[in-house]
Amino acid sequence: MEDTDSMAIVATQQGGTIQCDGKAITALSWEQVRGISQRFAQLNPYDRDAIPGSILKIENDNFEPATHHQRQIYCVAISAKRYSLFVLDKNGNPVLLRKGVNNDEDRWSEHGLGHLLNPTDPDSEDREWIAMAWEKIIRRALRLHTDPLSFGKLPAIGRVTVSSPAVIRPLTQFNNGKRYAGQIKPFNFLLTCHVMPFGHPLGIDPEHFHLIAPYQPDPGDWAKMEWIDQYSNQGKTYRITTIGHHGMRNTARVKTYGDVLQEYEFHPESKCADANGNPCCKQTVGLLERRHIRIEQIKYIGKESNTLEEVTAGLHHSEQNVYTEYPDLRRDEWQTKILPIIKDAPLLRLAKMSGMSSSALKEIRAGRARGLCLCQRTHR
């Protein structure tokens, strides 16, 4: 758990050794954390009358709002931006930090879930359903009893805006014959759902299939509606189901809120490694460490910011549909990997392995030609 301008410190009132998923780690004491914070006070670049103290602020989450006494807080983190803070009541049950209840702010992350509608009231901006999901995740982490979520079997539905020609194009047939007031127009809302792996209709390319539908706030109608394939020029329609393990000819098996939350809970933190230095998998738990990075190749790509909403909603399923690559011949694989090896290898050996003449190989080494045939023959 961390962010650009903040970090979480493992600390208890007295400090010392604590257990983290069966492994002993060292916690600082509250006094030690305050001491570290105070050491940075002399680096404060601001007007001390306006912003006194240290540039390392100890968050108000650590203190009871009513008494301002420091309290022990706990965290369950799935990845750097997916975490929830909580306290334990006298019976050992987790209690989320909630705005206006026991904290100044809600302290559970919506990262990775914010694109989904409220399953109990899609028109409501209330995100209590995410808090309910986090309570279940925390209780499972603490090996406490959990009850199924009431909305777990509903289709996981998001809302997107008709913000580009690519989104409105497959709606042409839907709009045909309708009066203007009944048509879907630019900047109207649409519903979008997410297909399970192997849940696509038969014969469909998974990377070029995504279902959208006119906005309907009643969850009871979602499984009864005709859904339009965004990639179909004819606006072909399909039904959706949350039953079974695969799709059928005209029906897609879509993810439920329960499916999404299960994937969310067991999301692998790809940027981190486990205690042995191995990349994290879905079942990795405990104290993680950063993975070592080795640069193999540099590519210039465009950012996805032009289609950020579509990416978040899952309208794009392949990075090729989002990124634009700008080739740089000075940094391609031929220049950075293959040509250095050719230059270091004995000329006679290269000629024998490739079947090329020495003069042709010299041209390649000098950068005046590319040895595509050489590369292919050498691999054989």
Mean pLDDT of 176-183: 88
Mean pLDDT of 49-55: 90
Reply yes or no on whether the pLDDT at 357 is more than 70.
yes
Closest to 102 (Cα-Cα) out of 136, 137, 131, 127 = 131
Give the type of residue at 97.
L
The pLDDT assigned to 372 comes to 45
The pLDDT assigned to 377 comes to 44
The pLDDT assigned to 168 comes to 82
DSSP state of 140: H
Q: 103-146 pLDDT, tens per residue?
A: 999 999 998 898 899 998 999 989 999 999 999 999 999 999 99
Reply yes or no on whether the pLDDT at 374 is more than 50.
no
Domains of the chain: which residue ranges?
A: 2-107, 157-255, 329-379
Enumerate the H helices of 250-337 as residue ranges.
257-265, 308-313, 333
Reply yes or no on whether the pLDDT at 69 is more than 70.
yes
Torsional sign, CA 351, 355, 358, 361: negative
Q: 6-15 pLDDT, tens per residue?
A: 888 999 999 9
Reply yes or no on whether the pLDDT at 376 is more than 50.
no
The pLDDT assigned to 303 comes to 61
Question: Under 8 Å CB-to-CB from 8, ≥6 apart: which residues?
Answer: 1, 2, 75, 77, 83
The pLDDT assigned to 287 comes to 81
What element of type H or E holds 137? helix 128-141
Q: How far apart are the first and last CA of the chain?
A: 48
Percent of the chain with pLDDT over 70: 92
User: pTM for the complete prediction?
Assistant: 0.79
Mean pLDDT of 2-31: 89
Question: For residue 220, what are its two tokens?
Answer: 């009871």
Mean pLDDT of 154-181: 86
Least confident of 40-44, 120-124, 233-237, 315-319: 315-319
Q: How confident is the model at residue 58 (pLDDT cuts 50, 70, 90)?
A: very high
The CB-based long-range contact list for 269-273 (8 Å cut-off, 24+ gap) reads: 269/78, 269/79, 269/80, 271/79, 271/80, 272/79
Closest to 223 (Cα-Cα) out of 255, 184, 182, 189 = 255
Percent of the chain with pLDDT over 90: 46
Closest to 34 (Cα-Cα) out of 5, 2, 63 = 63
Between the alpha carbon of residue 12 and those of residues 15, 26, 29, 65, 269, the distances in Å are: 5, 10, 5, 19, 26
Q: CA-CA distance, 280 to 270, in Å (whole number)?
A: 6
Q: 274-320 pLDDT, tens per residue?
A: 888 899 998 888 888 888 888 877 777 776 555 655 665 566 656 56
The pLDDT assigned to 380 comes to 40
Q: 308-320 pLDDT, tens per residue?
A: 556 655 666 565 6
Least confident of 15-29, 148-162, 229-243, 286-300: 286-300
Do residues 340 and 364 touch, judged by C-beta distance below 8 A? no
Max CA distance (Å), the chain? 85
The pLDDT assigned to 206 comes to 87
Mean pLDDT of 172-199: 90
